[in-house]
């Protein structure tokens, strides 16, 4: 009998963060994967980060996670999306060499103390009194463990579609998946189906790169993780091509052969990442759609055409890609396909990603209805840290909607559920101005140190940085007279009087660069921190206003709603609303306000009844 | 969860009156009906019954109604006794109810509070109901009814939808900028914000509901002995006074609220305006008169032609007197003594006031709602002036939040207490 505090099933992005996170907390942890060599594989596009997603990568990294450092190790192309807009929506994104990324993940995983890797097929959960007591492998090996994190991707009922073809999918062994799946189904967890898709992979040697617009890696020096001192790999360029009318005609002529339109796939796909046949069907008047040709690595010719995910038959896929400029002779190495799969309705989970009906069982990643490496990694981290905290009798880091995208995602998932694969968007975060990709460490590393999930190297880095912060504070409170700024040509009225550097940074046209003569050497101390603090100063009036809003929010966060809160007994709630609230089980009144469809009148009814229960001594919590 | 207490109160005006309505709301309403009438009438049908106390003595005969919850005004079981509203009868019935188990007298605002607590009405509607019950004139009643009926809530929902649509445009630019469709804000974006801001401004410019309570302020001004007080009396005395005259704390300022044709007015009689006064007390009176002039919606000027404040109506008063000098451009020539011209003046006042006060049936904002809407409007104006879409999005979010607060989508207890503290009992 093997004994662990936390056991993680699955070695994808969620599983890796869950296992390493739990181990960093000090929990004796095991990671079970069907194939240890597949740990850290990128199964879809070779990119990490992007709008909203880059924030998640930085946050996972700020809690000393794996994905940021591994992305840097594999990066062959860096691009800061949305650079022209406010910094809170900048999206750091890299393209990573698959081989190098995976090698980096495996190196980190193998070097992690407290973590044991186990190759094998997870066959069945062992339950005692309704809660997790262990795991049985297909070969009969038994693990005694009370906290188990399920990071199994799309293994539940996955079916691949390509034209008229069907394949039962999933990289995990069928038997294991079937037994475990049957067990989960018998637990009567609410399940639903979603679909996602992938484009065909192209042979880069058959692309005429010379005729295409190049998109070089940006010339700056930023990295995904501040612990990566510099970019390590040679940087490659991507290219931009587009679909054409001839290609669209071929798609239209064959729409009936796409499983999306023949009715074979009924599950909802992501609206923000539609298949090419969807794009043509819905926006048929467009002359062409942009396609990014992204190299998959330094030692491979494989190219990922971003923007033409499809499940059309192979012959149609060929016609479509060959009608794109620069691709007349292109060869498809691996055709695109769609995947339909089961997921758990995440409203069945508590805010620590634990299955409410099976205490001790945590779920993270695609199984919760999300899409994307970054979303998976962030959930894996949360579940791993929470599982370890529960096993060790401690608390995980105090995440909430005002301090992290991770908490925004978990809150959205567990309260609202999903109707399409959930992808992070900056629009989901109401406190976006304070949740910037470049201040993730400021927001979270301190919380991570408190929770005990930060390693030695990052802790030292953090302490150095906090020392510098003090010097910036002193500098930012120095006074400058308006005349002095006007004298050097800044757009400031001479009669504006004296203000601190921090206050001047709020003025249009007064940038940290322009104030360089006054800031002096302090900027060189830590350029990233200098930038971050200048942004804080510029956003200060907005942040101050949000502070007032947050006080209100925290007041209603303080009114707990118990899991068994009798919504049905609250008069005035419609049946539909009772059902939504009962399914979502918001933990507090504030959370109830975020459950979709809850009206102002219903919220007041809840407020009064929750308070009445409290005053009657029936503690609602 | 234990049952909330069942509450009762006289919900019509103070006795004596023709008919009094006693309302009972809560789980024991059914038992109360049974106890007093011995039977349960058909739901939502008025029927005649004898009301008896626990000893079987007949207290009164009247109509009783039975509304089973939750689809009632309060969201609870509800009973109504329509009885003769003599003080003795009302007291006897209330006493009979008070001894029943689980029943107690309602606190001020408690019926509305329960309707709100049971999700029957939202905050703006509850506020409208509060105003409705305080309404004393037809115009006040119509405005409050519009709010209580959800007119304001529907309007806010409409604005919220429009702000959401604008937010969606900005969010598309922020989150999908690398897709060709969403690279820039559409040209009509700023125009749409302006159109919305204009709608809000129109509401903000409307008189507030408190103004309805205060009435249209008409100040009579002029030098001493110009006939102000006589005209004042003629204007207010034949009308039903709503409140007793607020004897303006000084000998020189008298206010009286009256309703003319259902329109609320406050008439203010001022001290005669003289610049060369040497009497210190009179000088104070004159200062107050100037203050009243500043707050006035309309000034009736009884002094020398052209010497009154801008916008004042020129009134040629004391037309019956010997030596009366008509004004060249008098809007009205009146004699309070003979009644000449007074009716015409009243008619003109009513017309002017109607235009200046909320229209019948049109929802009006109270101070709290006005503040929230003002915040939304300010945020929209900021959104229109900013170029960084990130900050535009933040301002739109603030506008949405202000609208949410307006209808109580985000509720705090302070607000509830402030809201319910001002209700009369039994409504």
Name the average pLDDT for chain B: 78
Put simply, the answer to whether B75 touches A601 (Cβ < 8 Å) is: no
Comparing CB atoms, the residue among A283, A570, A600 nearest residue B409 is: A600
DSSP, res A256: G
Put simply, the answer to whether B411 touches A604 (Cβ < 8 Å) is: yes
Within chain A, which residues score under 50 in pLDDT? 171-176, 618-621
Put simply, the answer to whether A601 touches B180 (Cβ < 8 Å) is: no
CB atoms within 10 A of CB A318: 17
For residue B404, the chain A residues in CB contact (below 8 A) are 600
Residues A21 and A453 sit within 8 Å (Cβ to Cβ): yes
For residue range B188-209, what is the model confidence (pLDDT) as tens digits? 888 999 999 999 998 888 777 7
If you search the block for the tokens 């009154």, which residue do you land on? B308
| Distance from the B417 Cα atom to the nearest Cα atom in chain A, whole angstroms | 12
> Which pLDDT belongs to residue A613?
72
pLDDT tier at B262 (50, 70, 90 boundaries)? confident
Residues A57 and A41 sit within 8 Å (Cβ to Cβ): no
Put simply, the answer to whether B174 touches A51 (Cβ < 8 Å) is: yes
| Distance from the B191 Cα atom to the nearest Cα atom in chain A, whole angstroms | 22
For residue range A163-173, what is the model confidence (pLDDT) as tens digits? 888 777 654 34
Residues A210 and A283 sit within 8 Å (Cβ to Cβ): no
If you search the block for the tokens 């905290």, which residue do you land on? A389
For residue A86, the chain B residues in CB contact (below 8 A) are 388-391
Comparing CB atoms, the residue among B75, B177, B397 nearest residue A572 is: B75
Q: Give B 45-74 residues with CB within 8 A of chain A.
A: 69-70
For residue B355, give both structure tokens: 């235009």
Q: Among A601, A617, A620, which would you mutate to test the B interface (most chain B Cβ atoms within 10 Å of its Cβ)?
A: A601
Distances (CA, A) of B184 to A215, A405, B176, B195: 21, 25, 10, 20
Residues A69 and A10 sit within 8 Å (Cβ to Cβ): no
Put simply, the answer to whether A425 touches B175 (Cβ < 8 Å) is: yes
| Distance from the B307 Cα atom to the nearest Cα atom in chain A, whole angstroms | 43
> Which pLDDT belongs to residue A26?
97
The three-state (H, E, C) secondary structure of chain B, written as one string? CCCCCEEEEECCCCCCEEEEEEEEECCCHHHHHHHHHCCCCCCCCCEEEEEECCCCCEEEEEEEEEECCCCCCCCCCEEEEEEEECHHHHHHHHHHHHCCCCEEECCECHHHHHHHHCCCCCHHHHHHHHHHHHCCCHHHHHHHHHHHCCHHHHHHHHHHHHHHHHHHHHHHHHHCCCCHHHCCCCCHHHHHHHHHHHHHHHHHHCCCHHHHHHCEEEEEECCCCCCHHHHHHHHHHCCCECCCCEECCCCCCEEEEEEECCEEEEEEECCCCCCCCCCHHHHHHHHHHHHHHHHCCEEEECCCCCCCCCCCEEEECCCCCCCCCCCCCCCEECECCCCECHHHHHHHHHHHHHHHCCCCCCCCCCHHHHHHHHHHHHHHHHHHHCCCHHHHHHHHHHHHHHHHHHHCCCCCHHHHHHHHCCCCECC
> Which pLDDT belongs to residue B241?
41
pLDDT tier at B297 (50, 70, 90 boundaries)? confident
Higher pLDDT, B183 or B259: B259
Question: Distance between CA atoms of A73 and A153, rounded to whole angstroms?
Answer: 24
Put simply, the answer to whether B75 touches A85 (Cβ < 8 Å) is: no
CA angle A149, A409, A108 (to 5 degrees): 50
CB burial readout B113-124, b (16+ within 10 A) else e: bbbbbbbbbbbb
For residue range B84-114, what is the model confidence (pLDDT) as tens digits? 877 788 888 988 999 899 898 887 667 877 7
Residues A453 and A63 sit within 8 Å (Cβ to Cβ): yes
Question: Distance between CA atoms of B305 and B336, rounded to whole angstroms?
Answer: 19
Put simply, the answer to whether B119 touches A86 (Cβ < 8 Å) is: no
Paired with B246 in beta bridges are B255
Comparing CB atoms, the residue among A432, A571, A573 nearest residue B69 is: A571
For residue range B392-410, what is the model confidence (pLDDT) as tens digits? 999 998 998 888 878 766 5
> Which pLDDT belongs to residue A270?
65
> Which pLDDT belongs to residue B399?
92
> Which pLDDT belongs to residue A621?
36
Q: What are phi and psi of A39, to 5 degrees?
A: -60, 130
> Which pLDDT belongs to residue B426?
33
> Which pLDDT belongs to residue A397?
96
User: What percent helix, strand, coil does chain A show, rounded to 5?
Assistant: 45, 20, 40
Put simply, the answer to whether A290 touches B179 (Cβ < 8 Å) is: yes
For residue range A260-271, what is the model confidence (pLDDT) as tens digits? 777 777 767 666
pLDDT at B37 over 50: yes
> Which pLDDT belongs to residue B422?
42
Distances (CA, A) of B116 to A106, A518, B3, B158: 58, 58, 17, 22
> Which pLDDT belongs to residue B135?
56
Comparing CB atoms, the residue among A85, A570, A607 nearest residue B411 is: A607
**Percent of chain B having pLDDT more than 90?**
18
Q: What are phi and psi of A586, to 5 degrees?
A: -60, 140
For residue range B223-233, what is the model confidence (pLDDT) as tens digits? 877 778 788 88
For residue B122, the chain A residues in CB contact (below 8 A) are 599-601, 604
pLDDT at B61 over 80: yes
| Distance from the A97 Cα atom to the nearest Cα atom in chain B, whole angstroms | 22
Q: HSE-up of A341 (CA within 13 Å, CB side)?
A: 25
For residue range B146-175, what is the model confidence (pLDDT) as tens digits? 666 677 888 888 998 898 888 888 887 887
If you search the block for the tokens 């798609």, which residue do you land on? A251
Q: At what angle do helices B110-117 and A600-615 cross, to 10 degrees?
A: 110
pLDDT tier at B177 (50, 70, 90 boundaries)? low
Distances (CA, A) of B237 to B229, B240, B347: 11, 8, 16
Comparing CB atoms, the residue among B4, B397, B412 nearest residue A430 is: B397
For residue A89, the chain B residues in CB contact (below 8 A) are 174-175, 390
Please measure the distance between the N-terminal and C-terminal CA atoms of chain A and give it in whole angstroms. Answer: 37
pLDDT at B414 over 70: no
Higher pLDDT, B343 or B272: B343
Comparing CB atoms, the residue among B4, B388, B398 nearest residue A86 is: B388
For residue B154, the chain A residues in CB contact (below 8 A) are none
Comparing CB atoms, the residue among B118, B175, B394 nearest residue A571 is: B118
Q: Is the dihedral of CA B193, B197, B198, B200 positive or negative?
A: positive
> Which pLDDT belongs to residue A571?
66
pLDDT tier at B282 (50, 70, 90 boundaries)? low
> Which pLDDT belongs to residue A472?
87
What SS3 state is found at B217?
A: strand
> From the CA atom positions of chain B, what is the Rg in Å?
28
Number of H helices, E strands in chain A: 21, 24
Q: What is the residue-wise DSSP string for A564-595? A: T--GGGSTT--HHHHHHHHHH--SBHHHHHHS
ipTM surpassing 0.85, yes or no? no
């Amino acid at each position: 009998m093997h004994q662990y505090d936390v056991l993680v099933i699955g070695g994808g992005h969620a599983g890796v963060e869950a296992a390493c996170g739990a181990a960093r907390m000090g929990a004796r942890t095991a990671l079970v994967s069907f194939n240890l060599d597949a740990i850290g594989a990128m199964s879809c596009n070779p990119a990490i980060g992007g709008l909203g997603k880059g924030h998640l990568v930085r946050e996972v990294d700020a809690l000393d996670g794996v994905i940021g450092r591994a992305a840097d190790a594999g990066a062959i192309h860096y691009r800061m999306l949305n650079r022209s807009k406010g910094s809170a929506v900048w999206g750091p994104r890299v393209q990573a060499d698959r081989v190098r990324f995976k090698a980096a993940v495996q190196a980190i995983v193998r070097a992690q103390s407290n973590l044991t890797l186990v190759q094998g097929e997870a066959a069945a959960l062992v339950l005692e009194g309704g809660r997790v007591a262990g795991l049985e492998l297909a070969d009969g090996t038994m693990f005694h463990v009370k906290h188990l994190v399920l990071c199994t991707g799309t293994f539940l009922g996955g079916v691949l579609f390509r034209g008229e073809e069907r394949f039962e999918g999933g990289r995990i062994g069928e038997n294991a998946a079937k037994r475990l799946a049957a067990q989960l189904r018998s637990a009567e967890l609410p399940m639903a189906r979603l679909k996602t898709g992938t484009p065909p992979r192209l042979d880069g040697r058959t692309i005429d790169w010379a005729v295409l617009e190049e998109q070089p890696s940006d010339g700056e020096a930023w990295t995904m993780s501040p612990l990566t001192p510099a970019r390590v790999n040679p940087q490659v360029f991507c290219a931009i091509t587009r679909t054409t009318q001839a290609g669209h005609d071929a798609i239209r002529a064959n729409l009936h052969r796409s499983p999306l339109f023949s009715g074979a796939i009924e599950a909802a796909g992501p609206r923000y990442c539609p298949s090419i046949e969807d794009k043509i069907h819905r926006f048929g008047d467009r002359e062409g759609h942009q396609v990014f040709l992204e190299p998959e690595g330094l030692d491979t010719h494989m190219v990922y055409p971003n923007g033409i995910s499809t499940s059309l038959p192979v012959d149609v896929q060929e016609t479509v890609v060959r009608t794109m400029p620069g691709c007349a002779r292109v060869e498809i190495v691996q055709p695109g396909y769609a995947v339909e799969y089961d997921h758990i309705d995440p409203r069945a989970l508590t805010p620590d990603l634990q299955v409410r009906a099976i205490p001790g069982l945590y779920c993270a990643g695609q199984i919760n209805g999300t899409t994307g490496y970054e979303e998976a990694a962030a959930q894996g981290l949360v579940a791993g840290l929470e599982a370890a905290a529960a096993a060790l009798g401690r608390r995980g880091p105090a995440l909430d909607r005002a301090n992290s995208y991770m908490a925004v995602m978990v809150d959205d998932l567990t309260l609202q559920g999903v109707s399409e694969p959930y992808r992070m968007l900056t629009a989901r975060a109401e406190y976006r101005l304070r949740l910037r990709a470049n201040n993730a460490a400021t927001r979270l590393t301190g919380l991570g140190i408190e929770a005990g999930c930060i390693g030695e190297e990052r802790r030292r880095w953090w302490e150095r940085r906090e020392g510098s912060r003090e010097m910036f504070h002193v500098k930012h409170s120095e006074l400058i007279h308006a005349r002095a700024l006007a004298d050097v040509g800044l757009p400031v009225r001479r009669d504006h009087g004296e203000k601190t550097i921090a206050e001047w940074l709020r003025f249009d046209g007064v940038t940290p660069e322009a104030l360089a003569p006054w800031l002096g050497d302090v900027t060189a101390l830590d350029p990233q921190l200098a930038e971050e603090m200048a942004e804080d100063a510029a956003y200060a009036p907005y942040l101050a206003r949000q502070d007032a809003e947050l006080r209100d929010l925290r007041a209603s966060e303080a009114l707990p709603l118990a899991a068994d809160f009798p919504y049905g007994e609250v008069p005035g709630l419609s049946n539909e609303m009772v059902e939504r609230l009962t399914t979502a089980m918001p933990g507090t009144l504030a959370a109830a306000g975020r459950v979709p469809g809850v009206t102002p009148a219903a919220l007041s009814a809840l407020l009064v009844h929750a308070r009445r229960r409290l005053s009657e001594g029936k503690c609602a919590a | 969860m234990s049952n909330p207490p069942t509450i009762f109160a006289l919900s019509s005006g103070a006795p004596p009156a023709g008919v009094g309505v006693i309302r009972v709301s809560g789980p024991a309403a059914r038992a109360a009906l049974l106890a007093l009438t011995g039977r349960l009438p058909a739901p939502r049908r008025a029927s005649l019954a004898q009301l008896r106390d626990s000893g079987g003595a007949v207290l009164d005969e009247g109509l009783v109604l039975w509304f089973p919850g939750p689809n009632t005004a309060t969201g609870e079981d509800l009973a109504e006794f329509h009885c003769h509203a003599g003080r003795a009868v009302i007291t006897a019935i209330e006493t009979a109810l008070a001894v029943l188990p689980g029943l107690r007298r309602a606190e001020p605002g408690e019926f509305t509070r329960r309707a709100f607590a049971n999700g029957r009405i939202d905050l703006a509607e509850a506020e409208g109901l509060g105003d409705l019950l305080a309404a004393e004139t037809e115009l006040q009643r119509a405005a409050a009814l519009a709010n209580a009926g959800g007119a304001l809530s529907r309007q806010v929902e409409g604005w919220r939808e429009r702000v959401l649509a604008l937010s969606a445009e900005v969010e598309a630019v922020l989150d999908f900028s690398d897709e060709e469709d969403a690279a820039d804000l559409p040209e009509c974006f700023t125009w749409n914000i302006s159109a919305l801001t204009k709608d809000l401004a129109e509401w903000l410019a409307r008189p507030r509901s408190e103004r309805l309570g205060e009435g249209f302020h008409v100040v009579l001004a002029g030098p001493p002995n110009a006939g102000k007080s006589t005209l004042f009396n003629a204007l207010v005395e034949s009308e039903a006074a709503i409140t007793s005259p607020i004897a303006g704390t000084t000998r020189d300022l008298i206010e009286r609220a009256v309703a003319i044709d259902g329109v609320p007015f406050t008439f203010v009689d001022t001290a005669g305006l003289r610049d060369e006064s040497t009497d210190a007390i009179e000088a104070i009176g004159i200062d107050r008169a100037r203050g009243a002039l500043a707050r006035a919606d309309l000034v009736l000027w009884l002094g020398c032609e052209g010497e009154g404040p801008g916008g004042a109506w020129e009134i040629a008063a004391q037309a019956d007197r010997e030596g009366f000098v008509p004004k060249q451009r008098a809007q009205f020539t009146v004699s309070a003594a003979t009644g000449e011209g007074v009716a015409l003046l009243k008619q003109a006042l009513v017309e002017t006031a109607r235009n200046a006060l909320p229209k019948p049936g049109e929802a009006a904002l109270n101070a709290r709602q006005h503040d929230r809407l003002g915040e939304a409007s300010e945020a929209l104006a900021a959104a229109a002036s900013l170029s960084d879409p990130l900050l535009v999005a933040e301002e739109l979010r603030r506008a949405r939040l202000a609208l949410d607060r307006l209808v109580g989508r985000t509720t705090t207890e302070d607000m509830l207490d402030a809201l319910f503290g001002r209700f009369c009992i039994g409504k």
